[in-house]
Chain A
């Protein structure tokens, strides 16, 4: 009789303790899951909110807004083409210069330089990435821009002046200075990703090529670059996405004029730069809505670039993991 009364007392106690411990685990996992969900929801919320903000303008101007070349607050005619041109051309200038340079820097750091030399140079390239864009823009507008106007652009005109983009009057703020400042911004990004890619190329493959008598350059071209090619494409796209989205440094160096210039020396404007400079000071509902339309276009362009890059990265890693 007495022995039976003990057991029910003891059992719930251990049970509770066990359930309590289990509860702690469940609670912690639940909170962590909630945080992960919040990050995912946040990304969706940003996309949804930008579209919701731009929706009145999308309804009012329609899709033709995208290829309309106009920005006149007085006559209330607005279009995005001027800014899409500025964004795409400055970013492509940056891409064309930064890609070969970044690959060369990454090759130097992984294949050529002894480790004692490579480490400090890698740190310096990292620090280049750490310079805030507003500081680079300050340097771009007050020091680099005048240098481009007085030295680089006259030289380009002498050599390549027969091309329309290198004709015209040199100026300290314009498409070309903005593109060059963007180049400086994306070199550390692309070269850091390329460096990691090159370090992950199996040493056996490189050693095999060298053992067969190829020079280092031949091994790099035939083995390393071939192996890492998809990854390089992803690295370049990530740099491009960064260049598309940069608003501040471009705003400081592009000159802010609502035209599509024939010459790259002349001022223009980009999507991000226009949004940064005009949204708070918009004078009419139509103008504010048009600015939001520009923001939506910018978001779509950079999201698409980024998602393609991520897609390549995931596929690349899966394929290489299978090797």
Chain B
């Protein structure tokens, strides 16, 4: 191909065009902007956690963990809310986990692909139902006529846990090697015993990861508890048939209070809650790592 004298040959790679310089600048800008975006997200996390520690840490002492929420003007703690949260989240786990694991087993081991896909959409849509709507639902279904109770609070949290645990469990069951199933079935073991004794144990690390992450999430849920377990006395109670105080509701109520003392209590309670959430996330990472080692070992 001949090139007119004076014109730049577009195929001559020895000529550096301005276009190339512009492209390099854009490339640099792209790299820097995306780095800044990532740093921005990390900075927000650092600022929120830093504020929590700065404002909440002073308030933490033995009284804070052993005394109930104070009546007006007194000094107290959040022992009653800690106990209430533990009871309600524990009951929610007991309600949600067995059902969720069974749903996952049905999807991974029994259902035809079409049915399994449809169930996946159902679970994802259920996961997208706002927590406040779940609260109104349980309120209308159970609380109206019966009054608030920790059991209803746990039930509403269980509804939020169910799709999370079922989806994560189903995804784990699907990556358990087929050879394990075939080997067990070939030895004459029935399908349900194979599932129970071979598949579930080999997936337990992944199942626990999902369970722990969902526990961390529902422990911080406020909206459903406002409707089901919010009108409670300031005293440590184990009566699951009445409303129990919880950490998120305590934080919520105190955060809108003009009293600096109550705001300080909210910061401290938030610090305790976030510490629980962080510990749960670290646990989840450990379970995930253990599962990876197991799979690599086998």
- The yes or no answer to A216 lying at the interface (CB within 8 A) is yes
- The yes or no answer to A232 lying at the interface (CB within 8 A) is no
Q: Is A302 a contact of B130 with CB atoms below 8 Å?
A: yes
Beta-carbon nearest neighbor of A130 in chain B: B277
B52 touches which of A123, A135, A292 (Cβ 8 Å)? A135
- The yes or no answer to B286 lying at the interface (CB within 8 A) is no
A53 touches which of B24, B140, B166 (Cβ 8 Å)? B140
A121 touches which of B42, B100, B141 (Cβ 8 Å)? B42
Q: How many A residues are at the interface, by size bracket?
A: 35 or more
Q: Is A43 a contact of B125 with CB atoms below 8 Å?
A: yes
- The yes or no answer to A226 lying at the interface (CB within 8 A) is no
Question: Chain A interface mostly helix, strand, loop or mixed?
Answer: helix
Beta-carbon nearest neighbor of B254 in chain A: A138
- The yes or no answer to B240 lying at the interface (CB within 8 A) is no
- The yes or no answer to B106 lying at the interface (CB within 8 A) is yes
Inter-chain contacts of A184 with B (CB < 8 A): 44
Inter-chain contacts of A285 with B (CB < 8 A): none
CB distance from A211 to the nearest CB of B (A): 15
CB distance from A290 to the nearest CB of B (A): 13
- The yes or no answer to B290 lying at the interface (CB within 8 A) is no
Question: Chain B interface mostly helix, strand, loop or mixed?
Answer: helix
Inter-chain contacts of B192 with A (CB < 8 A): 24-25, 27-29
Q: Is A216 a contact of B30 with CB atoms below 8 Å?
A: yes
C-alpha spacing A36/B129, complex, angstroms: 18
A124 touches which of B42, B100, B139 (Cβ 8 Å)? B42
Inter-chain contacts of B163 with A (CB < 8 A): 39
Q: Is A128 a contact of B45 with CB atoms below 8 Å?
A: yes
C-alpha spacing A181/B217, complex, angstroms: 18
- Stretch in B60-68, B71-79, B203-211, B262-270 with 4+ CB within 8 Å of A: B262-270
CB distance from A284 to the nearest CB of B (A): 16
Knowing A241-B128, A298-B130, A306-B128 are in contact, say whether A276-B223 is a contact too (CB < 8 A). yes
- Stretch in A7-15, A61-69, A163-171, A242-250 with 4+ CB within 8 Å of B: A242-250
Q: Is A248 a contact of B41 with CB atoms below 8 Å?
A: no
Inter-chain contacts of B40 with A (CB < 8 A): 101
Knowing A25-B192, A42-B159 are in contact, say whether A295-B30 is a contact too (CB < 8 A). no
Q: Is A39 a contact of B119 with CB atoms below 8 Å?
A: yes
Q: Is B126 a contact of A43 with CB atoms below 8 Å?
A: yes
Knowing A31-B102, A121-B42, A191-B41 are in contact, say whether A39-B248 is a contact too (CB < 8 A). no
Q: Is B270 a contact of A138 with CB atoms below 8 Å?
A: yes
- The yes or no answer to B83 lying at the interface (CB within 8 A) is no
Inter-chain contacts of A130 with B (CB < 8 A): 213, 216-217, 277-278, 281
C-alpha spacing A245/B248, complex, angstroms: 18
- Stretch in B4-12, B31-39, B86-94, B176-184 with 4+ CB within 8 Å of A: B31-39
B41 touches which of A45, A125, A135, A292 (Cβ 8 Å)? A125
By a beta-carbon cutoff of 8 Å, the part of chain A in contact with chain B is: 21-22, 24-25, 27-29, 31-36, 38-40, 42-43, 45-46, 49-50, 52-53, 100-101, 104-105, 107-109, 111-113, 121, 123-128, 130-139, 141-143, 184, 187-188, 191, 215-218, 220, 238, 241-242, 244-248, 252, 272, 275-276, 279-280, 292, 295, 298-299, 302-303, 305-307, 309-310, 313-314
Q: Can you report 21 A-B residue pairs in the complex whose CB atoms are below 8 A from each other?
A: A29-B106, A29-B192, A32-B106, A33-B106, A35-B99, A35-B100, A39-B119, A42-B159, A46-B129, A104-B36, A109-B38, A134-B248, A135-B220, A135-B251, A135-B270, A138-B267, A142-B255, A215-B24, A245-B133, A247-B223, A276-B223
List the 7 shortest-distance A-B pairs measured between CB atoms, nearest first: A132-B220, A245-B130, A28-B192, A104-B37, A306-B128, A35-B102, A32-B106
By a beta-carbon cutoff of 8 Å, the part of chain B in contact with chain A is: 23-24, 26-27, 30-31, 33-38, 40-42, 44-45, 48, 51-52, 99-100, 102-103, 105-107, 109-111, 117, 119, 121-126, 128-134, 136-137, 139-141, 159, 162-163, 166, 190-193, 195-196, 213, 216-217, 219-223, 226-227, 230-231, 248, 251-252, 255-256, 263, 266-267, 270, 273-274, 277-278, 281, 285
Given contacts A38-B103, A101-B37, 5 further A-B contacts (CB under 8 A): A24-B192, A35-B99, A36-B111, A134-B252, A305-B128
